[in-house]
Structure formats: structure tokens, C-alpha cells
């Protein structure tokens, strides 16, 4: 391109920057929300990374205008908040679907997932950007300020009120692709910080200063290109090796029952019958490990005589790993657990050879709301009836993340139940000896999420646990994606439909060899150390490049 062409392109970007910076009032909030909506295309199932770069660049240019106003903190907060509302509303619309299971009773409360949730999560971003406004300037330093503020906000979102790190920026990269491999070095939060910097760097090429200093403004873009190029090349090299399989074969099985049929007695009986039919008809070997999803039967399997009597007849030599709720009575108190059970065929009934109780419970959905916020019991009453018992009394959390060491030939594994698969430390801190683990098992009930973005996003984020740890992952999700993933996050087998489903059901079965684990990753050894170190370095970059 000629010098004239560069100059023309720069003038065009300058005009766009000025137009965005001048936006005020409802127009500014509306356009910020549109940018947030557009940024959702960067996440599963689309993974269109340029959408995040365009959206964040536009947001920074809008923040440039906000910082010049008399009430700049308010203006920056509102633009960041509106961007977050647009993003969370569109990318997480599926959180409203549980309220439509019985719409005649619960549709009136749709404001909770469609207004309160995006509004609250957006406020975290708005507050972070308002705080960053204290250090904002027209120089390239604002790129470092933005990455620091948003990187810290995403880390906070992962712990606040129990944590909800859904669709953080690092997960925008296709799991199993080259850039996603960087999660093995510093974890997904470190990848998020790097992603935010890379995606927003183009915004520095245009600012409110005069046209001189173009080379100085190129500094963030040059650093971003270097980071992306190195990360991509390193990731490609890491992915060069083919998946190595072990001799162990795993059978992933879900009957795909709709959520509305899980709570009825007739539905629960049909679920059990369908699982038994699949156990009889799906080809397998006597030493297979069979896995069912979270809450597989819709009832407490270990406390149900019919289930415990019938299932062993069809196990043969196979091991069954299944999700189930269960209860135990201590004196006058009944405690409920969301559990993963390991069963073998005993002499007369199923023999329980391993048990894990979910440690990290979903706020308001599983963890008693009274433990989270004031007036939590009242808020629980607004939830769909199927969730109210859990939210009011709550499941009892298990003691800690753990490595299960089952009897027999089942390789030691780290169990994760649904929501737990969002948290890197659930794998990294598993006890007694995380180095003994050979794989990860994730079970989930994605039937609450519908058939849209929710199940695809959940699967993508779970795959990052394999990348961070180097451990293969077997994932079974009710009406979601059931698949085997290797230690690089690559899918090596995915559930396929099986004929004979009842109307409206969607079974999924795949039999696949268990991949071999990789050597321990830097993230497994050092945890989030690199994230915090990099956050300090990026913040330091803001001060080194700062100009009023």
C-alpha cells in the first residue's frame, strides 16, 4: 500500500473514532450494547475472534469520548455496563429457559435471567472501566489500562458470589486449536488477559491527539502481533503430535430425556428402561467403563431399590460411573448431595466402589441462597419450582476437589459435576495426589439449557480443563455434548444418536479408547502465578507509556 493509501486509511479510522467518541446519552448506551452483542460471536459455537477485536476497539474509542466529559466516571461506567449487558444478554439468554419449563407459573420471573443477571454482570465491567478511567489518557497507555481493568474484572467474576466465569475472553479461542494451548502455560485467566490485550491493541492506532506520533501509537499493535505470532507458532508445534490411546475403552451414554419428563414417576421409569435397553444393545466389552450424565435417572439412584436391583443385571463385568442425587439422614436432619457414583456388579446388587459429592455448588440453584446474600430465602421463592428446594435448603457440598482411586482397573480420575467444570483450580487442587490422576470425568445436565448456545459454550469451556492439565477428559452431558477429549483439548470421539428413542428424546452414545495423559503442564505446577505476574507487568506498561 502506498503512503497515500496509509494516510487515507488512517483518516477513515480517525473519522470513525471521532464519531464513536462523540456519542452521548441513549445513543452511546445503545451502540455500546450493540458492540457487546456483536462480541458474542467470538465465543462458542462461532469462535469468530475478529468480532471481539472489532467490539473492544469500538468500546475503547467510546471510552475516549466518555473520559473527556465532566462526569467521566459515570460516563465510562455506563458505556462499560451497556456493553456488558448486550454481551451477557445475548450470549447467556439460555439462562431464561428453565423459567419456560412451566411458563404459566414462572414466565413472570423472566426478568431475573434477562434483566438482573446481565445487569449485574455488566456492572462488574462498568465498575472496572470506571476505575480504569482514573488512569486513562489519549496515549497508547490506555490499552494497558483497559487490559488490566478488564483482566482483573474477569478474575473477580470468577469468585464473586460463588463465581460465574462463563465466556471469559480466553475461551473465545477454539479449544484444541493453536492459541488455546497457551492455557497450559498460565491457565485460562492468563490467556484471558493476553487475549484482551491483543484484541484491543488496534484501538491505540487512533486517538484524540494530533496526527504526529503514529509510530508510538503502533507499540501495542506490534506487541499484540508478536504475542499472537509466538503463541500461534508454539501452539502449532504442541499440536504436532497425534493422540496416543491407552488400552482402556470408555462408553459414554445419555438417553437425552427432556427436562420436563425427569420429575415425573412415569418419566423416571422410562428413563431407567431406556438406559437398560442401551446397556443390552450397544456393543461393548466386559472391561468397558460406562459413564452416564449428572442426575441420570431423575431420582436418587442409590436410594432407589428398583434401580439398584435392576442395573447390576446388565453390567456384567463393566463399571458404571453415573451422576445421581442422594440423601442421607443424620438424626432428624436429611442432607442432600449431588453425587457421582461408581458401581460394579456385586453378588446380589450393585456394589458401590467409589463416591464423589459435588464440592462447588451453583449459587441459588444448588447452594442455599441464604448462604450467599441477605434475603436469599425470599429470592429463592422466585425460582422455578424444580429449583426452589435446592436454592432454599441447598445441597450439602462435598469436602474438597479430589482424585478418585476406584478399586480394580479403573484409572484414577478427577470428577467434575457440571458447574465445577468452569473452574481451573478444581483440577489443579484435587487431592490426595493430583499427580495420580490419569483423566478427568465431567458429567452435566445440559437439558436445562435448550438446544442453542448454552450446551456448546459449556462444552467449549470444559475442554480448557484438559488443556490446562494435560489430562484427557470424558464428558457426558444430558442433551448436551458427550465426547472424549485428549490432553490438548482435541475431540477424539463424540456421541451419536441411537435408534429407538421415545418421541422428543435425543440419545447419544460413543465408545472410544481413553487417551493417554500428557506430562504435567506449567499451569498444573505453578497455578495462576503467571496471571498475577502478567497483570502487574501490564499495569506497569500503562505507567511506562502514560502521557496526559
Whether 438 is catalytic is no
Cα 423 to Cα 143, 165, 193: the distances in Å are: 27, 8, 16
Judging by beta carbons within 10 Å of its beta carbon (0-12, 13-18, 19+), is residue 237 exposed, middle or buried?
Answer: exposed
Q: Which of 154, 262, 294, 438 is catalytic?
A: 294
HSE toward the beta carbon, residue 252, CA cutoff 13 A: 31
200 touches 140 (CB < 8 A): no
Residues 6 or more apart in contact with residue 522 via CB below 8 angstroms: 184, 185, 186, 530
Cα 385 to Cα 58, 119, 264: the distances in Å are: 42, 24, 14
Angstrom distance (rounded) from CA 238 to CA 241: 7
Phi and psi at residue 148, to the nearest 5°: -65, -50
Sign of the dihedral through C-alpha 175, 176, 177, 178: positive
Phi and psi at residue 70, to the nearest 5°: -60, -45
Angstrom distance (rounded) from CA 412 to CA 477: 21
Quick one: which H or E segment has residue 306? helix 305-310
Phi and psi at residue 217, to the nearest 5°: -70, -20
Cα angle vertex 448, ends 266, 272, to 5°?
A: 30
Angstrom distance (rounded) from CA 385 to CA 79: 36
162: left (phi over 0), alpha (psi -120 to 50) or beta: left
What DSSP character marks residue 482? -
Going across the sheet that includes 483-485, the strands are 413-417, 439-445, 473-478, 483-485, 491-494
38 touches 165 (CB < 8 A): no
Phi and psi at residue 43, to the nearest 5°: -110, 170
In the three-class reduction of DSSP (H, G, I as helix; E, B as strand; rest coil), residue 87 is classed as: helix
383 touches 109 (CB < 8 A): yes
Residue 527 CA, chain-centre distance (Å), reads: 18
530 touches 184 (CB < 8 A): no
Q: Which of 154, 262, 299, 358 is catalytic?
A: 358
Q: Which of 299, 418, 420, 468 is catalytic?
A: 418
Whether 299 is catalytic is no
517 touches 471 (CB < 8 A): yes
Whether 294 is catalytic is yes
The catalytic site residues sit at 294, 358, 418
Amino acid at each position: 500500500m502506498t503512503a497515500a493509501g496509509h494516510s487515507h486509511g488512517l483518516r477513515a479510522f480517525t473519522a470513525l473514532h471521532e464519531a464513536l467518541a462523540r456519542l452521548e446519552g441513549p445513543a452511546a448506551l445503545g451502540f455500546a450494547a450493540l458492540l457487546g452483542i456483536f462480541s458474542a460471536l467470538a465465543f462458542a459455537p462461532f469462535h469468530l475472534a475478529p468480532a471481539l477485536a472489532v467490539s473492544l476497539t469500538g468500546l475503547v474509542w467510546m471510552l475516549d469520548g466518555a473520559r473527556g466529559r465532566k462526569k467521566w466516571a459515570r460516563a465510562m461506567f455506563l458505556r462499560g455496563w451497556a456493553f456488558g449487558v448486550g454481551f451477557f444478554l445475548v450470549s447467556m439468554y439460555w439462562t431464561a429457559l428453565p423459567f419456560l419449563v412451566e411458563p404459566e407459573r414462572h414466565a413472570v420471573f423472566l426478568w431475573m435471567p434477562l434483566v438482573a443477571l446481565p445487569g449485574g454482570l455488566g456492572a462488574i465491567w462498568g465498575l472496572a472501566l470506571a476505575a480504569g478511567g482514573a488512569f486513562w489518557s489519549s496515549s497508547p497507555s490506555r490499552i494497558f489500562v483497559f487490559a488490566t481493568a478488564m483482566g482483573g474484572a474477569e478474575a473477580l467474576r470468577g469468585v464473586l458470589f460463588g463465581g460465574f466465569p462463563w465466556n471469559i475472553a480466553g475461551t473465545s479461542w477454539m479449544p484444541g486449536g493453536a492459541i488455546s494451548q497457551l492455557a497450559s502455560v498460565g491457565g485460562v485467566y492468563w490467556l484471558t488477559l493476553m487475549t484482551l490485550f491483543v484484541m484491543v491493541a488496534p484501538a491505540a492506532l487512533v486517538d484524540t491527539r494530533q496526527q504526529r506520533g503514529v509510530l508510538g501509537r503502533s507499540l501495542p499493535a506490534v506487541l499484540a502481533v508478536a504475542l499472537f505470532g509466538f503463541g500461534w507458532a508454539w501452539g502449532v508445534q504442541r499440536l504436532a503430535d497425534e493422540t496416543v490411546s491407552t488400552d482402556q475403552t470408555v462408553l459414554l451414554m445419555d438417553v437425552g430425556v427432556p427436562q420436563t419428563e425427569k420429575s415425573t414417576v412415569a418419566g423416571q421409569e422410562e428413563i431407567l428402561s431406556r438406559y437398560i435397553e442401551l446397556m443390552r444393545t450397544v456393543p461393548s466389552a466386559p472391561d468397558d467403563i460406562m459413564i452416564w450424565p449428572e442426575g441420570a435417572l431423575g431420582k436418587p439412584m442409590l436410594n432407589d431399590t428398583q434401580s439398584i436391583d435392576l442395573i447390576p443385571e446388565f453390567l456384567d463385568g463393566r463399571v458404571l460411573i453415573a451422576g445421581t442425587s442422594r440423601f442421607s439422614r443424620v438424626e432428624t436432619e436429611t442432607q442432600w448431595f449431588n453425587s457421582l457414583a461408581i458401581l460394579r456388579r456385586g453378588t446380589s446388587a450393585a456394589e458401590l466402589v467409589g463416591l464423589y459429592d459435588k464440592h462447588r455448588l451453583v449459587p441459588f440453584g444448588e447452594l442455599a441462597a441464604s448462604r450467599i446474600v441477605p434475603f436469599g430465602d425470599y429470592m429463592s421463592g422466585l425460582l422455578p419450582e424444580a429449583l426452589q428446594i435446592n436454592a432454599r435448603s441447598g445441597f450439602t457440598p462435598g469436602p474438597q476437589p479430589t482424585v478418585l482411586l476406584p478399586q480394580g482397573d479403573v484409572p484414577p480420575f478427577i470428577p467434575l459435576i457440571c458447574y465445577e467444570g468452569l473452574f481451573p483450580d478444581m483440577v489443579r487442587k484435587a487431592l490426595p495426589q493430583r499427580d495420580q490422576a490419569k483423566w478427568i470425568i465431567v458429567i452435566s445436565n445440559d437439558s436445562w439449557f435448550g438446544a442453542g448456545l448454552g450446551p456448546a459454550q459449556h462444552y467449549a469451556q470444559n475442554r480448557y480443563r484438559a488443556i490446562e492439565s494435560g489430562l484427557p477428559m470424558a464428558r457426558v452431558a444430558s442433551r448436551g455434548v458427550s465426547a472424549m477429549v485428549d490432553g490438548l483439548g482435541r475431540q477424539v470421539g463424540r456421541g451419536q444418536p441411537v435408534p429407538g428413542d421415545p418421541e422428543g428424546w435425543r440419545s447419544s452414545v460413543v465408545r472410544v479408547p481413553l487417551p493417554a495423559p500428557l506430562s504435567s503442564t506449567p499451569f498444573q505446577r505453578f497455578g495462576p502465578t503467571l496471571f498475577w505476574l502478567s497483570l502487574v507487568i501490564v499495569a506497569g506498561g500503562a505507567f511506562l507509556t502514560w502521557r496526559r
